[in-house]
């Protein structure tokens, strides 16, 4: 009789451990789904707080940003080191198909003769945040606009 009670006790103990373990680990990641969406959402959230900050050529602080300075500043806030220029950001980022964009991804544009001359941070639903140009401030724009859609050349990610 005592052996039976010990076996039941051991089984109950292991069931408790399994149940406790399942409660603390969360669901298993699904195949093909990024487990880092929080980083992307944090990037987008930080970028939103900077709307209205003035544009400043070469700027990479809350005193003023250019496009790549904004991207670098926001990524640095969550501990991700990224290159400083839009061209280097484009070259070194992990390429993301446009139909797989997530908040925090980077959008690359050809504005001038250079292949990549502008970078922005994707929010969601076709909207992004960027530091557009002199005399303007950090603001949102829409990929559906003719201007931006004709100049978009790709997307990338560092998180």
Per-residue pLDDT of the chain in tens (159 residues, 90 and over written 9)? 566 555 555 444 444 443 434 333 333 333 333 445 699 999 999 999 999 999 999 999 999 999 999 999 999 999 999 999 999 999 999 999 999 999 999 999 999 877 899 999 999 999 999 999 988 999 999 999 999 999 999 999 999
Ordered by where they begin, the domains of the chain are 32-157 (3.90.1720.10)
Phi, psi of 148 (to 5 degrees): -75, -40
| Residue 85 · residue 70 · CB < 8 Å | no
36, HSE (Cβ side, Cα atoms, 13 Å) = 10
| Residue 93 · residue 156 · CB < 8 Å | yes
E strands of 104-158, at which residues? 106-109, 118-124, 127-130, 139-142, 152-157
Instruction: Give the active site residues.
Output: 67, 118, 130
The structure's pTM equals 0.76
């Amino acid at each position: 009789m005592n052996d039976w009670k010990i076996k039941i006790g051991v089984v109950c103990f292991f069931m408790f451990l399994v149940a406790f373990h399942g409660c603390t680990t969360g669901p298993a990641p699904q195949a093909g789904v990024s487990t880092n969406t929080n980083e992307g959402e944090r990037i987008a959230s930080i970028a939103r707080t900077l709307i209205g900050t003035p544009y400043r050529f070469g700027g990479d602080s809350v005193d003023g940003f250019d496009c790549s300075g904004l991207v670098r500043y926001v990524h640095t806030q969550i501990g991700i080191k990224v290159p400083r220029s839009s061209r280097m950001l484009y070259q070194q980022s992990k390429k993301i198909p446009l139909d797989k964009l997530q908040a925090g991804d980077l959008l690359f544009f050809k504005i001038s003769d250079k292949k990549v001359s502008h970078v922005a941070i994707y929010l969601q639903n076709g909207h992004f945040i960027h530091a557009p140009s002199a005399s303007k401030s950090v603001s949102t724009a829409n990929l559906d606009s003719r201007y931006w859609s004709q100049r978009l050349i790709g997307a990338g990610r560092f998180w």
